[in-house]
Amino acid sequence: MSIEKARKHLEKYGVADRIMEFDVSSATVELAAIAVGVEGARICKTLSFKDPDGGCILVQTAGDSRIDNSKFKKYFGFKAKMLPFEEVEELTGHEPGGVCAFGADHNLARVYCDVSMKRFDTVFPACGSDNSAIELTCDELFRISEALEWIDVSKLPDGDR
């Protein structure tokens, strides 16, 4: 079960006891916001993109942001293409609805944090299942997810950053 993979990863950083598990689904930003009790923007969604080299790229971004295709292409050098549903678990180690960087195989997945989250003191990424989350500061998220870099590949609904 992928929540156990995430839990094992989070144990290495001493934060596994902060995992929240819900009786309701948190598989989407909207459902996660209700389960956690925060605005949707504070949900850290982890988007999985096809890497032309055969792996994937995980971009952790604020719940209200969208990928800006031109920024993505400029940064990565190729067009943003989401992983097909049937490849998500194989390449990320987690099922859709629970995708996170915790416990991801870094030989297959490169992890990045998008600056859209820096508006908040804390954010809530999933923990490998469609009914879990953890509250982390942005610095904790970057370190614990073993992200490579803070990047700017998104746009906010109001266009502000």
Give the predicted TM-score (pTM) of the model: 0.94
Contacts of 39 (CB under 8 A, 6+ apart): 33
**Distance in angstroms (rounded) separating the CA atoms of residues 126 and 45:** 8
Question: Could you state, in order of their start, the residue ranges of all structural domains in the chain?
Answer: 2-152
Q: What is the pLDDT of residue 17?
A: 97
Mean pLDDT over the full length of the chain:
94
> Could you read off the pLDDT of 50-96 as tens digits, one per residue?
999 888 999 999 999 999 999 999 999 999 999 999 999 888 888 88
Evaluate whether the domain defined by 2-152 bears CATH number 3.30.390.10: no
- What is the dihedral sign for C-alpha 121, 16, 144, 105? negative
Contact assessment for residue 123 and residue 141, using Cβ atoms and an 8 Å cutoff: yes
Question: Which range (11-25, 102-116, 119-133, 141-155) has the least confidence?
Answer: 102-116
Mention every residue, 6+ apart, whose C-beta is less than 8 A from residue 86: none
Instruction: Dump pLDDT digits (tens) for 90-140.
Output: 888 888 888 999 998 877 889 999 999 999 999 999 999 999 999 999 999
What pLDDT band is residue 154 in, cutting at 50, 70 and 90?
A: very high
